[in-house]
Structure 1
């Protein structure tokens, strides 16, 4: 999402809004962008006096603060103008000659303090010139709180308690999104529907590293942080009654998934300490005979198996061929290659597969079969073949009880 640096002044040079970076949503004109900014639609923390909003609006644009700014018609499209002339926009509000500011009554200093401490406020954040996806998500969370009439009593509370809450909620959502919210949903653990708009933002495919896996300690830390806010005094205020059940549900989701990961971790650790395999040899191996295919439905896929087909065709019947040199090294592609062998070998062949589970093939051998023969395969034959091919005598191991 593109962004620009904005400053707003009056024609008497009084500063209304200091230089700030704000996102460009859609394709507005300069005038439309200013009025969206003035009423808080773009950035909740920005407020411009309603009286000023009716003043005649002028605009200038430049490539940097040091360059000379160029006058521009406020009806021009902001995206096009910013691309051609720069990302710094100075809005100037023309004060009418007959304008009379409303005379404010003198207020007692104590009443001013009371008013400031009870008025609802939202935390403000400093964003870079080009905010990233996480920065934009933070803006969306603040806007979400504002749109639901939430806020903290007083600017001090907003900048301390409010800012901490927004950052911790942001980091928890971003972590789940980066690791993959679909993994969590796959375990029938569903985050609050109110958070759906906040997911699918991180786009790990654009990162240099692969998508990270969920970590028990990280999930537990985020769950404990959010749980602490559920017990915070400000969460009991009326403006946050809508927020409590949402955060509570999300916290329970993090807890539930971290518990699942911990159980898995303990189970894997126990399995590694076993002296016998978890799966018996009978469960781990497969020996089958397939008729060769006569027609290939996908010639592009067929080419992948050409080398293997050519090698197998040169072997005498029953001579075993280890297919490891012919398969891709990447685990997922290796699994697909082996899984699709029956649809891509044109000779009648036998196949021996040994797998410890989790769709991982540790050994796979092929041999040509005389097309006039049919060979039944029994478990004791499979165990004998496994021992002959691998040299592993553990096939005599009893099943785990």
Structure 2
């Protein structure tokens, strides 16, 4: 089987483009290959055959022509074949005496109307280009003088760019009465009920709306073409008016976008709301109808209002139909068996209208303006408020100088304090605000989950190393609580690098499992060990990479730093002996850790100094900061914390597990 690149040419014109053909080389000639490629269309023509190995080589003519065997391609390892048709010469036709000269040929060609050539269709944009040319050919239009490849091609490209850009937004333009000209709806794809720019809808890229700058650019480029002299020719009577209509559509919607953008910028920078009850509400009275004339769709509303007191309003949103036109008729034809008042507030945009109704007395003499005013005050209090961006900026800028307050929290404070019902345009910010609102509503700190526990490698590859590290911390008593007893995260009481920790744990593993270590025990890198600890600052971006496998911050607190002492080894050994004693006699031992906290003074309402954590305080200019000494309070309560430690089975176990009990003692009778 041969796989060949075959093409068919006539003079300098390529009739059949180069493509791959498969054919058996045994018992086949070049005539069989030529017939398969051309489907027998040129069987009566004389053909020359040329072959070559690759494109860098020159063509080599086959002497036997179509009678040559294909086996030569297999022997010579040639894979490219070109068939050239020889032009027919009519010898029997008498020679015309009056032949045209070159000048006459050029003049005749200059009067022929030509169109740009089709391009290769790699995508739908090329397809649109070719269909525009086909549409022009059906209208028998074209360019003379050989400008079809310059001016003509530029005109077709400009129409293609305009239609391609507005193709995904035809429904948007139709909503503003900007319809595509009928002439361009005759394009083949539109006739088939399809669109060109399918990538806009199927891709995962951002869907950009129509741009005013882009529309102006496209309309200006089309104006450059239609203002040229060739556009005044009568053959373009169908195309040019349609192009002018397309230009008008682009300009009309660009003008609409300009006006809308200007109005929105004015609104965004305004210090007042776009909608308020002063300008956007209507209130009117509807007289009663007879019981037999009551429409069935108002029966439920009529019954509910009949049970209400005078001037007790309700929102009729739940009684409105879902269909827009039915909803419109429901409000327009509203009439009950008793007089009612209607209050309508137009929120604008897509939010619709808020409708309140209430019962009113039948006689005008019984109208109570006081109750009516109170009712309107309650209605105005319930109406949603939509603040502009400038109003929100004014509030956020005022409190943005407070440290450790994120923009999301500031926006939540703004919404809660002002009652602003506007929704944040950014999707991510909107999700954050919804979660903050849920957290603040539930007031449950356990709803927050640290997702850093999901970080990193979840296999068991380094389990032996982590277990031995945990045992090393417990055995050497290398963990300390917070210096202020805040939080549950422990700290390192001494300076220790990650590299030293890695070497220490590795040596301990070698003692247990022999040296060298078995292939089943793996040692992590220094960076991976560091990421197993809690981050020193949980609010930084780098903290997202920590896993928090060890509830320890790899840093030393300033309060735990001490100078070297001769008794340091004695104290550490004494505490170790104490723990080993408890482990050895575990069944007869109860290890308790107890501590009395600072006294809580009670009694007279007199400021008493605590004597600890002295900091600067703010005092008025002519005042004196004075407080009674903490030793002279008459009565006080002492909180006492007792920790019953669960004794582990070995020294490497944790001595921080157990039960904690808090009690209170009278400082006078229980010192």
Q: Which residue of 1 aligns with 2:139?
A: 148
Match of 1:381 among 344, 365, 378: 378
Unaligned runs of 5+ in 1: 23-30, 36-51, 59-63, 67-87, 286-354, 362-376, 396-401
**For 1:254 and 1:272, how far apart are their aligned partners in 2?**
27
Q: How far 1:220 sits from its partner (Å)?
A: 0.8
How many angstroms apart in 2 are the aligned matches of 1:284 and 1:53? Answer: 80
C-alpha separation between the residues in 2 aligned to 1:89 and 1:379?
91
Alpha-carbon separation, structure 1, partners of 2:181 and 2:6: 36
1:195 shift after superposition:
1.5
* Consecutive unaligned residues in structure 2, runs of 5 or more: 20-34, 48-52, 56-79, 282-345, 353-373, 386-413, 422-671
Find the counterpart in structure 2 of residue 206 from structure 1: 202
The superposition leaves residues 8-59 of structure 1 with CA deviations (integer Å, 9 ceiling, x where unpaired) of 435xxx453266599xxxxxxxx9x989xxxxxxxxxxxxxxxx9895799x
Change over 3 Å in CA distance of 1:57–1:111 after alignment to 2:
closer
Q: Which one of 416, 423, 426 corresponds to residue 390 of structure 1?
A: 416
Q: CA deviation digits over 1:139-191, x for unaligned, max 9?
A: 00011111100100033x1011001000011000100013x111000111112
Q: State the TM-score, normalized to the length of structure 2.
A: 0.32
Quote the offset at 1:237 in angstroms.
1.4
Tell me, in whole angstroms, the C-alpha distance in 2 between the residues paired with 1:113 and 1:98: 24
Equivalent in the alignment of 1:191:
180
Once the 2 structures are TM-superposed, how far is the Cα of residue 114 of structure 1 from its aligned partner? Answer: 1.2
Q: Evaluate the alpha carbon distance shift between residue 193 and residue 15 of structure 1 in structure 2; reply closer, same or farther with a 3 A threshold.
A: same
Shift in Å at residue 208 of structure 1?
2.7
1:54-133 aligned at under 5 Å gives the runs 106-127=99-120, 131-133=122-124
The change in CA–CA distance for 1:226 and 1:57 in structure 2 (over 3 A counts) is farther
Do the aligned residues in 2 keep the contact of 1:55 with 1:94 (CA within 8 Å)? no
1:223 aligned residue (195, 213, 219): 219
1:258 aligns with 2:249: no
Map 1:237-252 onto structure 2 (within 5 A): 237-252=233-248
Secondary structure at the residue paired with 2:9?
strand
Matched position secondary structure for 1:222? helix
Aligned match for 2:128, one of 118, 124, 137? 137
Structure index of larger Rg: 2
Contact 2:183 2:239 in 1 (8 A): no
Return closer, same or farther for 1:392/1:101 CA change in 2, 3 Å cut-off: farther
> Structure 2 CA distance, aligned partners of 1:168 and 1:283?
47
Residues 251 and 103 (structure 1 numbering): CA distance in 2 closer, same or farther, change over 3 Å?
farther
3-state SS, counterpart of residue 9 of structure 1: strand
Q: Distance in 2 between matches of 1:245 and 1:6?
A: 46
Deviation at 1:380, TM superposition (A): 2.8
Structure 1 contact 6–18 (Cα < 8 Å) conserved: no
Contact residue 119 and residue 126 of structure 2 kept, 8 A: no
Instruction: Report the alpha carbon displacement of residue 218 of structure 1 after superposing the two structures with TM.
Output: 0.7
1:25 corresponding residue in structure 2: none
Give the TM-score taking structure 1 as reference length.
0.51
Q: Is the Cα contact below 8 Å between 1:56 and 1:94 reproduced in 2? A: yes
Q: In the alignment, which of 155, 159, 172 is matched to residue 162 of structure 2?
A: 172
The 1:382/1:151 distance shift into structure 2, 3 A limit, reads same
Q: For 2:140 and 2:174, how far apart are their aligned partners in 1?
A: 30
Q: Which structure ranks higher in relative contact order (CA pairs < 8 Å, sequence separation ≥ 6)?
A: 1
Contact 1:57/1:91, CA 8 A, preserved across alignment: no
On the 8 A contact 2:119/2:130 being kept in 1, the answer is: no
Per the TM alignment, residue 227 of structure 1 is displaced from its structure 2 partner at its CA by 1.8
> C-alpha separation between the residues in 2 aligned to 1:102 and 1:231?
50
- Partner secondary structure for residue 160 of structure 1: helix
CA distance in 1, matches of 2:92, 2:8: 20
Quickly say closer, same or farther: Cα 1:56–1:115, change in 2 above 3 A. Answer: same
TM-aligned CA distance change 1:21 to 1:175, over 3 Å: farther
Call closer, same or farther: CA 1:89–1:135 in 2, change over 3 Å: farther
What SS class does the counterpart of residue 14 from structure 2 fall into?
strand
**Contact conserved, 2:183 with 2:242, CA < 8 A, in 1?**
yes
Q: CA, structure 1 residues 7+106, in 2 after alignment: closer, same or farther (shift >3 Å)?
A: farther
Distance 2:204 2:256 in 1: 28
Q: Supply the distance in 1 between the matched residues of 2:82 and 2:375 (Cα, whole angstroms).
A: 83
Query: What is the alpha-carbon root mean square deviation over aligned residues?
Result: 4.6
**Structure 2 Cα separation of the partners of residues 219 and 6 of structure 1:** 46
User: What displacement does 1:6 show?
Assistant: 9.2
Measured against aligned partners, the alpha-carbon deviations of 1:188-209 in whole angstroms (never above 9, x if no partner) come to 1112012223652111122231
